[in-house]
Amino acid sequence: MSEVLHPSALPLEQLRAECVVQRVRRSGPGGQHRNKVETGVVIRHEPTGVRAEANERRSQAENLAIAWQRLRVRLALAVRKEAPNGGPSALWHSRGVAVSQGHCDYPALLAEALDMLAASDWDIAAAAGRLGVSRSQLTKFLRREPEAFSQLNAERAAKGLRKLA
């Protein structure tokens, strides 16, 4: 039986099949050439309702690429899947916390870290141990995405654990 991928880790074609893409015009600064055409992009992941938008570039193609990456990060933040019993994925072993925020693997790794934290009752030391990284490495990785760090602290507070600074 094959493992079901987290939505943030789906191949682009498979993710596209689950999404609705809208082209939009947005107002704001950007010069006389901005938004004379529909260069903004809004993507909605139908199964979850998670949305992402990009409209800061004059190029629709650039906005589309940015919106896909933002959608993947938002899916990583919003969707929790059961952490695998066998430990971290091959992707985590190959990339781990060393990947930059702009890298295409970042959302899948963020989702895996959050899934492992949820499976460890938001105990960062336990999750770090299961992922094979130090507590400080995992904390620094989560701090890169402020919403992920806020989610971690909210979940910890709900469990009666102290917030991380």
Ramachandran category for residue 139: left, alpha or beta (phi over 0 → left; psi -120 to 50 → alpha): alpha
pLDDT of 36 reads: 60
Distance (Å) of CA 74 to CA 12, 58, 68: 15, 23, 10
Give dist(CA 111, CA 107) in Å, integer: 6
Per-residue confidence (pLDDT) for residue 26, from 0 to 100: 65
> Can you give the pLDDT at residue 30?
58
Q: Which pLDDT does position 83 carry in this prediction? A: 76
Measured CA to CA, the distance from residue 135 to residue 123 in angstroms comes to: 10
pLDDT score for 1: 37
pLDDT band at 3 (very low <50, low <70, confident <90, very high): low
The predicted pLDDT at position 2 comes to 47
Which position has the higher pLDDT, 42 or 82?
Answer: 42
- Calpha distance 6→63 (Å, rounded): 23
Closest of 29, 18, 25, 57 to residue 42, by C-alpha: 25
What is the spatial distance between Cα 165 and Cα 155, in angstroms, rounded to a whole number? Answer: 14
Residues 40-51 pLDDT 10s: 899 999 999 999
- Residue ranges of E strands in the chain: 19-24, 40-45, 50-54
User: Considering all CA atoms of the chain, what is the largest pairwise distance in Å, rounded to the nearest integer?
Assistant: 55
Instruction: Residue 23: name the closest of 68, 65, 53 by CA.
Output: 53
- pLDDT, tens digit, 9 for 90 and up, residues 10-63: 999 999 999 999 998 766 555 555 556 678 899 999 999 999 999 888 888 999
The mean pLDDT of 94-121, rounded to a whole number, is: 93
* β-sheet with 40-45: strand ranges across: 19-24, 40-45, 50-54
d(C-alpha 91, C-alpha 86), whole Å: 13
Q: Determine contact, residues 59/36, Cβ cutoff 8 Å.
A: no
The proportion of the chain whose per-residue pLDDT surpasses 90, expressed as a percent, equals 70
